[in-house]
Chain A
Amino acid sequence: MQKIGVFVCHCGTNIAGTVNIDEVVENAKHEPGVKYVAEYPYMCSEAGQSMVQKAIDEHDLSGIVISACSPRMHETTFRRAAARTKLNPFMLEMANIREQCSWVHKDKEEATNKAHALTRAAIAKVHHNTPLFPGESPVTKRALVIGGGIAGVSCALDIAEAGFVVDIVESTPSIGGKMAQLDKTFPTLDCSACILTPKMVDAQFHENINIHTYSEIESVEGFVGDFTITIRKKARSVDMKKCTGCGACYDKCPIKKIPGEFDEGLGMRTAIYTPFAQAIPNVPVIDREHCLKFKTGKCGLCETVCAPDAIDFEQEDELITEKYGAVIIATGITPISLDKFGEYAYTSPDVITSLEFERMTNAAGPTKGELIRISDKKKPKSITFIQCVGSRDVAVRSKTYCSKICCMYTAKHAMLVKDKYPDIEVNVFYIDVRTPGKNFDEFYRRAVEEYGVNYIKGQVGKVVDNGDSLWIQAVDMLDNKQIKTKTDLIVLATAIEPVKSVRNIAGMLSASIDTNNFMTEAHPKLKPVESPTAGVFLAGACQGPKDIPETVAGAGATAAKVIGLLAKDKLITNPCIADLDPYYCNGCSACEKVCPYGAISYEDTEINDHGKKAIRRIAVINKALCQGCGACVVTCPSGAMDLLGFSNRQITAEVDAICR
C-alpha cells in the first residue's frame, strides 16, 4: 500500500478563486492510501517545493500528487524536487486543476467537484506507479565523420581537440574535398590551399584522428551512442606503411593521359597517382581501370622504381569494423551534370564550369594559373560569365533552389581576371545578384566599381561555338536590347547538388533526406545540425548550399553537439517506454509491425515458466530506440506489452476514479 501525499496549490487566486481548496483537501484526506495532505498558495515556489520535499521525508511518503497546473508546465519542476529526496521522481503525478479546471469552469461547486475528481484520479494512478529509472545506454567515445572536405576535417579537428577519437572516411584518395580544388576564397581573396592544407596536416598528425581515404561505409548497425560501422578500405595497391611519397612511381608511369578528377578533367594524370601535390595522405593510388599491369599483366614499372617496395598489386579491399557513439555526415556537394544544357555549348572546350575555371586560375592547376583558352591555348580577350546555370529552374535537368555560392564566386572570378589581366573584357549575365553576408555585397560592388566588371541583367539564350570564337545571343533586360556578340571564354556558374552516394549513406543510417537529396535537419531552427535520427549529425553542404565560412561555422556547431554527446558516459533514456512481460508474450510479431522506431525485435529467449524452462520467440525492446508511444501496447492482445508510466493498470485506475 502506498503512502501518498497530496499537495493542493492555490496558484494565488488562479485556482483558489474558482475551486474551494479546503474542500479538495478534505476530500483528498479520505482517499485510500492518502497519508498527508497540504495546500499552499504557490506550490511551485521555492517554499512550496521545500514543503513537498519536507513532507516526503517526514511522512515517509511513497508517492505524491500535486494538484496544481498542467503537468506540461511544472511536472519537471516537481519531479526535480522529488528527486532531491529519497523518492523516485516517477512516483509523482499531477492533477491539472488549473488549465483544465479552474480556468475553464465558472461555477465554484462544479469546479470544486471536478478538482476533487481529478485529484482522485491522480491518487488512483499513483497507487499503481512504480519507481522508474531512466534507462542508460553506453556511449562509445568515438565519432565517425563521413566526408573529408573542409566540413568533415574542421568538425573532426574540433571533436579531436576535445579529446575524443575521430575517424574520417573519405571516398577519394585524399582528404581536402572541393575546397582543395579552389584557388582563392571570397570575400578575402586569400589562397584556399594556404588556409586548408594546414588544417589537413593538423588532421593527419592529430593523435585522435584516423583518416581512412579511398574508403566507403559498408554497413551500419546500432543506434545513438552505440553504432557499429564497417568501413571498406578500397585496395590502393600501395602499402600505406611503406610508401614514402617520393613520387618516383607516377613519374615513371607510362599511362599519362587520364583526365584528372582533381583538375576537373582539364589536366591529365597517370594511372598511379596522387590527386594533388598536397594530398593527405601523400600515398598514391593505382587506378586499376587504366593501369597496364592490371589490364594486360605487363608493365609494373612503378614496382620496379619503388625503393621502399610499397607497390602491392595483390592488395585487396579491407573491411574495418569499429564502434562509434556518433556519426557526422559531411558528404558535401558537387556541380550538376551539364549534359542536358545544349544551349550553352558545354561540349566546346572554351565553355567551362566555374570549378574548372578555379583549376585554371590555380597556380598548381593544369595551366599553372595561366588563363588560356583550352582550344587554342591563347589568352582570351573577353570572358562571359553566366549565372544560375541549372539553378532556380523548374525543369527536370535543373535544380529549383538557388545554389547560393555562385554570385559570390562569380564576382570573385571576374575580379581576379580583371586584377591579373585588366585588358580582358568581363561580362556577367545575371538574373539577380544575391550577396548577403559580411563584406559580401561590398565585394560584389568592388568587382563592378573598382574592376569594371560589366554586369548585365539578363540571360544568355544560346551559345554557338564557331571554332575560333564563341558566339552568344543574350538579352540586356534593362536596356531592352538583344545582345549578339562574340566572346572567347564562357564560364558557367553551375548549380550544385549533394553527392550521389549520400542517399545510400542516409539510408544505412536511417537519416532522412529531402527531395533534392539534401539531408533533413531534426528541426530547421532549433536542431540545425542534427538529423532526426538520434546520434546522426550533419555538417557542411550536405544540408544545403553553403559557402566556406558557413560550412566551417556549422561544422563547429556540429562538433559542439557531438562533443556534448560523447562527453556523457551513459545516455539517459526516457523511462516511460514499452515494457514486456516475457512470460505472456506469444511471439506473434504484431507489436513489431506497428513500432515506428524499429525498437522491437524478436529473439529466441529462455523463459522460466513456473519452473519449466522453455525457449520461446519473444519480443525484445530496444530501450534506447523506444519513444513510448504505446502503439505496441494496444496491438498486443494478451497484455504482454505495457507502457511504463501509462500502464494499463494506471489508466484503468484513473478511469475508475473519475467514474466513481
Chain B
Amino acid sequence: MFKMAKKDIPNMLTLLGESMDVYAPVKKGKLTNFEDFTEGAELDIDTLKTVKSPKDFFLPQVENLFSATSQGKEINIEAKALRDKPFVIFGVRSCDVRAMEILDSVYLSEPVDKFYEARRENGIILSLACNEPGQTCFCTTFNIDPAHPNADGAMWVINDNIYIEARTEKGENLVKLISKFLQEGSKNEIVQSQTAIREKLNKLPYSDLSLDGLEGNQLLDLFDTPQWEELHKTCLACGICTFICPTCQCYDIKDYDTGGEVVRYRCWDSCMYSDFTLMAHGNIRNSQKERFRQRFMHKLVYHPDNNKGEISCVGCGRCVNKCPSSLNIVKVIKSLAVKCNV
C-alpha cells in the first residue's frame, strides 16, 4: 500500500504517458468521460460515473478488422495490427471493473477474440473506490464492493491523499514506474473510509434490490411472462442503454468502400435496433417487445445460464439515469422477481 499527494496526480499521469497511453476521466464542458490524458486536460476523479463506461478501450465502438485492396484482378487482404502498446486506464469504478470481467468471459473464452485479447494484455486498470455512491447505484446487488475495488491496482481518495494498492504483476510494475511520487501507506488508513462507504451504500434507494426469483432454471417462465408487454410499452428503441452499458458487448460487422480499399470493420450494435440480427430472410425479432425482452433476458438469464450464474449487470445505474422513457433494468428486475416469487 502506497500513498501520494492528490495534487501530484497530473504529474504522475504525465510521467506514465512517457511509456504508455494514459486514459483518465476528463471533464469537457458538462461531460466527464474517459479520454486520452494529455496536457491541459481537466482531470475529474470526483464525478462518480462517466457517461460512457471505459469498455471502449477494450471493445472500441468502431474497430477496423482488415482492409482489402485490389490490383487488377488481384485482391490483397491485410489484417489490421493488434494493439501492442501498453496503456493505463486511471480511475475506473468497481462496477466498471466487474464489467470488464464479464466482457472477458465473452471475449476471452474460446474462440478468443484476438483484438480484445491484445488490448486486454496491454491494458492496465487502476480502479478507484467510490467515496460517494450515487442514488442510482445498485452494485451491491451483484456483490460488488465499491469500497474495495478490484483491478490491477486499486485506489482510494482520502482527503488530500490518494492510496494505491497494486494487486497484480502489471499493477506492481506500474507502481514502480511512478515510485518517485509514492510513499508507504498503511491499509489501516483506508479502513475508516471503507466503512463510511459501506454505510452510505446501505442507505441508497436501491440497496434492497433483490434478485430473488431470478435464480434457477426458469428460462421459459420468464420468456413467456406477460410482464414484457407492460414493461416494453414506452421503449423508443434507441440504443442509449446499450451504448452506455458497461457490459453490453454485441457488435455488427460491416464493409466500407473507401475508394482505394474496402475496409471491414466491426462496430457496437444494439439489440434494441430493428436491424439487430437482421438476416437474409428477415428478422427473428420483429417487435420491439421481443427486442426489449432479448436485452434483459440476455443480461438476467441467458448470460448467467452460460457463465456459472453470473448476471451481466453490474448495477452502475447509468441506464436508470439516461433512458429517455425512464425504463431500466431495475424496473425489469423488480417486475420479474415479483412475478416469479408469487
A/B touching: CB–CB < 8 A: yes
Which A positions have Cβ atoms within 8 angstroms of B?
30, 32, 609-612, 656, 659-660
B282 and A611 form a contact (CB under 8 A): yes
Which residues in A have their C-beta under 8 angstroms from that of B40? none
Interface code B240-262, partner A: CB below 8 Å = 1, 0 otherwise?
00000000000000000101100
Which residues in B have their C-beta under 8 angstroms from that of A30? 72-73
The 8 closest A-B pairs by CB, nearest first: A610-B282, A660-B259, A30-B72, A610-B286, A610-B283, A612-B286, A656-B259, A659-B259
B286 and A611 form a contact (CB under 8 A): yes
The interface residues of chain A, by DSSP majority, are classed as loop
A656 and B283 form a contact (CB under 8 A): no
Measured CA separation A611–B279 after assembly (Å): 14
A660 and B282 form a contact (CB under 8 A): no
Does B218 touch A at the CB level, under 8 Å? no
Does B161 touch A at the CB level, under 8 Å? no
Measured CA separation A656–B282 after assembly (Å): 29
Measured CA separation A32–B282 after assembly (Å): 29
A656 and B286 form a contact (CB under 8 A): no
**Shortest Cβ distance from residue A382 to the other chain B in the assembled complex, whole angstroms:** 92
Residue of A nearest to B257 (CB): A656
Residue of A nearest to B72 (CB): A30
Measured CA separation A459–B335 after assembly (Å): 100
Which residues in B have their C-beta under 8 angstroms from that of A660? 259-260
12 residue pairs from A and B, CB less than 8 Å apart: A30-B72, A30-B73, A32-B70, A609-B286, A610-B281, A610-B286, A611-B282, A611-B286, A612-B286, A656-B257, A659-B259, A660-B260
Which residues in B have their C-beta under 8 angstroms from that of A32? 70
**Shortest Cβ distance from residue B117 to the other chain A in the assembled complex, whole angstroms:** 35
Which residues in A have their C-beta under 8 angstroms from that of B70? 32
- Using A610-B283, A656-B259, A660-B260 as known contacts, list a sample of 13 further A-B pairs with CB atoms less than 8 Å apart, ordered by residue number in A: A30-B72, A30-B73, A32-B70, A609-B286, A610-B281, A610-B282, A610-B286, A611-B282, A611-B286, A612-B286, A656-B257, A659-B259, A660-B259
Measured CA separation A659–B70 after assembly (Å): 17
Interface code B117-152, partner A: CB below 8 Å = 1, 0 otherwise?
000000000000000000000000000000000000
**Shortest Cβ distance from residue A115 to the other chain B in the assembled complex, whole angstroms:** 19
Which residues in B have their C-beta under 8 angstroms from that of A656? 257, 259
Measured CA separation A659–B281 after assembly (Å): 34
Interface code B284-312, partner A: CB below 8 Å = 1, 0 otherwise?
00100000000000000000000000000
Measured CA separation A611–B281 after assembly (Å): 10
Measured CA separation A18–B283 after assembly (Å): 54
**Shortest Cβ distance from residue A657 to the other chain B in the assembled complex, whole angstroms:** 8
Residue of A nearest to B259 (CB): A660
Measured CA separation A599–B257 after assembly (Å): 36
Residue of A nearest to B278 (CB): A610
Residue of A nearest to B284 (CB): A610
Measured CA separation A95–B283 after assembly (Å): 40
Measured CA separation A660–B70 after assembly (Å): 14
Measured CA separation A116–B247 after assembly (Å): 50
Measured CA separation A612–B276 after assembly (Å): 18
**Shortest Cβ distance from residue A49 to the other chain B in the assembled complex, whole angstroms:** 29
Which residues in B have their C-beta under 8 angstroms from that of A612? 286
Which residues in A have their C-beta under 8 angstroms from that of B259? 656, 659-660
Which residues in A have their C-beta under 8 angstroms from that of B72? 30
**Shortest Cβ distance from residue A165 to the other chain B in the assembled complex, whole angstroms:** 50
Measured CA separation A345–B326 after assembly (Å): 87
**Shortest Cβ distance from residue A639 to the other chain B in the assembled complex, whole angstroms:** 14
Measured CA separation A30–B74 after assembly (Å): 10
Measured CA separation A72–B70 after assembly (Å): 34
**Shortest Cβ distance from residue B339 to the other chain A in the assembled complex, whole angstroms:** 27
**Shortest Cβ distance from residue B280 to the other chain A in the assembled complex, whole angstroms:** 11
**Shortest Cβ distance from residue B268 to the other chain A in the assembled complex, whole angstroms:** 23
Measured CA separation A659–B258 after assembly (Å): 10
Residue of B nearest to A609 (CB): B286
Residue of A nearest to B281 (CB): A610
Measured CA separation A30–B75 after assembly (Å): 12
Which residues in B have their C-beta under 8 angstroms from that of A609? 286
Measured CA separation A660–B260 after assembly (Å): 7
**Shortest Cβ distance from residue A225 to the other chain B in the assembled complex, whole angstroms:** 38
Measured CA separation A656–B257 after assembly (Å): 9
Measured CA separation A32–B73 after assembly (Å): 8
Which residues in A have their C-beta under 8 angstroms from that of B281? 610
Measured CA separation A656–B286 after assembly (Å): 34
Measured CA separation A27–B73 after assembly (Å): 12
Measured CA separation A656–B260 after assembly (Å): 10
Measured CA separation A660–B257 after assembly (Å): 10
**Shortest Cβ distance from residue A288 to the other chain B in the assembled complex, whole angstroms:** 66
Measured CA separation A609–B70 after assembly (Å): 38
**Shortest Cβ distance from residue B227 to the other chain A in the assembled complex, whole angstroms:** 23
Which residues in A have their C-beta under 8 angstroms from that of B286? 609-612
Measured CA separation A32–B260 after assembly (Å): 12
Residue of B nearest to A658 (CB): B259
Measured CA separation A611–B284 after assembly (Å): 10
- Which residues of chain B in 261-284 are interfacial with respect to chain A, using CB atoms and an 8 Å cutoff? 281-283
**Shortest Cβ distance from residue A32 to the other chain B in the assembled complex, whole angstroms:** 7
Measured CA separation A30–B260 after assembly (Å): 13
**Shortest Cβ distance from residue B57 to the other chain A in the assembled complex, whole angstroms:** 33
Measured CA separation A32–B286 after assembly (Å): 37
